Amino acid sequence: MKDCKEFSAGDNTRLRELFNPLKDNINLRYSLAHATVKPGKTTYKHRLKTSEVYYILKGNGIMHINNESEKVQEGQAIYIPPDTIQCIKNTGTTNLVFICIVDPAWKKEDEEIPEEQL
């Protein structure tokens, strides 16, 4: 992970892409990233054309998918269907850390973030 450059994703999550077959020379359908949301912060509401799974490694939060909200914590997996509005809020006092799996692999043009949040 140290070799993966950290950047701010479109939804304002701090990400490190571990694998993306569109960038790396590997035969995968999906991309894999390590994400961090700071305490008290919420990612921008956004929509992906693809399916996504979050696996919570550390921390607590609230996951919002369309009009539903659920508390999330370490050890939970969350399925996010394609074309749904999503965001996650860190409700804890430490970083919320999770793995993101996007299938098919994440591409910037597959992500939509409403203009008013930018």
Q: pLDDT tens digit string along 25-59? A: 889 999 999 999 999 999 999 999 999 999 999 99
pLDDT of 118 above 80: no
Lowest mean pLDDT among 20-29, 79-88, 99-108: 20-29
pLDDT of residue 66: 96
pTM of the shown model: 0.90
Domain 6-117: CATH superfamily, name plus number: Jelly Rolls (2.60.120.10)
Q: Cα 94 to chain center, whole Å?
A: 17
* Dihedral angle computed from the Cα positions of residues 51, 57, 63 and 69, in that order, rounded to the nearest 10 degrees: 110
Please check the confidence at residue 73 and state whether its pLDDT lies above 60.
yes
pLDDT at 117: 63
For the residues 85-98, what does the mean pLDDT come to? Answer: 97
Q: What is the pLDDT of residue 74?
A: 97
Per-residue confidence (pLDDT) for residue 75, from 0 to 100 = 98
